[in-house]
Amino acid sequence: MTTQGSVDRAIFAVVNRTVNPLLSGILASPLHFVASGQMATLTVTGRKTGREYAFPVGYVRTGNEVQIGIEWPERKQWWRNLRTPAPVRIRIRGVEYTGQGQAIEDGKGGVKVRVTLD
């Protein structure tokens, strides 16, 4: 018997493996304007591996600060690399910026990442 949790995990896996790469490609292309008003590409470095991870994120920018809400944070690992402030890159509207990212946990299971641009 299929449970709602297994269906949710399957949908999450499909989105991560298909939609995210497609959206990342659009955001890196001259057609970025189609999505870059609300989506950006965030690049973080793994604390343990040193490997770079890049993926699309929804964002709100105010001046030199960018807020990123994390959907389903319990199913994602990348934001944990930002529990302490760490360097990040973020491509917004076709322009790449550097900055410091920090994950902020609200104590109720919610997580957002604040990026302060250099």
Q: What is the CATH number of the domain that holds 79?
A: 2.30.110.10
- pLDDT tens-digit map of 55-86: 899 999 999 999 999 988 988 889 999 999 99
Q: Quick one: pLDDT band at residue 31, thresholds 50, 70, 90?
A: low
Work out whether strand 60-62 and strand 52-58 pair parallel, antiparallel, or are unpaired: unpaired
Cα distances (angstroms) measured from residue 37 to each of 17, 23, 59, 94, 105: 23, 13, 9, 10, 25
| Cα distance between residue 83 and residue 24, in whole Å | 24
Q: Quick one: pLDDT band at residue 4, thresholds 50, 70, 90?
A: low
Q: What is the pLDDT of residue 87?
A: 98
In total, how many domains does the chain have? 1
Q: What is the pLDDT of residue 7?
A: 60
Domain residues for the domain of 20 are 4-117
Percent of the chain residues topping a pLDDT of 70: 86
Percent of the chain residues topping a pLDDT of 90: 57
